[in-house]
Structure 1
């Protein structure tokens, strides 16, 4: 991953320290904003719950097959992902390439297994995994994998 800093408040931060701080901001959150590209070229934004694997530079999101963001990413896999601090002054933007798993078709398939792992990493154990697995198929869910290419933003001060 490449990083950069857009800090209009001044004070340069070394590249490795900036990268660490921005990565920590992404890793420390669970709610972000996914930006995809609509057919007319304008951005389409969605608030999403996510899990971030910092070792792999991978953001994962559970999405449904019928949503605009899914259609947009099938057409154009470029995406941006925005996360901000509680006060909004610090933020990180991850530019990424999207990969979509197959739609969940069976409660025991690989997509449902990955969705279960994603749920665990974000929310912990589900009270009824059999029901969860059936719901993933009924809702036509899949996993959006965002392979992060570049991170930039304003790192938290502290």
Structure 2
């Protein structure tokens, strides 16, 4: 919570799109727009990503990240920073790596119309679940 009474986690919970910042090997930030889901119970931001992408490689090398969210009107923003755990990719549609992606989907969108298809696609696409434990959250409501 900031001095103004603004709780950054409220915007984080309400937002679906964020800008994920990871650290490239040269130390510069690499920014990616991502679909994010906030799990209030565990105070973590979850993102599904693909093995082999820059953000995934960066996080395997340096598991620190920040993700920024902006309100639709642009006058409120929140950033979450923390350590990241990557789960996957999984080779078994019924394995624990894909189970984690199922829970991510349920948390963000509810039930899928065809879980078997979803599980198959998660393996085929080599999907990885990023879990960012929120160690610091900050932001501001400008209006």
Q: Which runs of at least 4 in structure 1 moved beyond 6 Å after TM superposition? A: none
| Residues 115-130 of structure 1 aligned to structure 2 (within 5 Å) | 115-130=101-116
Cα RMSD for the two superposed structures:
1.5
**TM-score when normalising by structure 1:** 0.84
Q: Unpaired runs of 5+ in structure 1? A: 6-11
Q: Unpaired runs of 5+ in structure 2? A: none
2:136 to 138, 144, 150: 150
What's the CA shift for 1:155? 3.0
1:141 to 119, 127, 134: 127
1:37 equivalent in alignment to 2:23: yes
The separation in 2 between residues aligned to 1:101 and 1:32, in whole angstroms, is 20
The separation in 1 between residues aligned to 2:16 and 2:142, in whole angstroms, is 17
- Counting matched residue pairs gives 143
The separation in 2 between residues aligned to 1:155 and 1:74, in whole angstroms, is 33
The separation in 1 between residues aligned to 2:141 and 2:132, in whole angstroms, is 21
1:70 equivalent in alignment to 2:84: no
Look at both structures and tell me which one has the larger radius of gyration over its CA atoms.
1
The separation in 1 between residues aligned to 2:95 and 2:41, in whole angstroms, is 25
**TM-score when normalising by structure 2:** 0.93
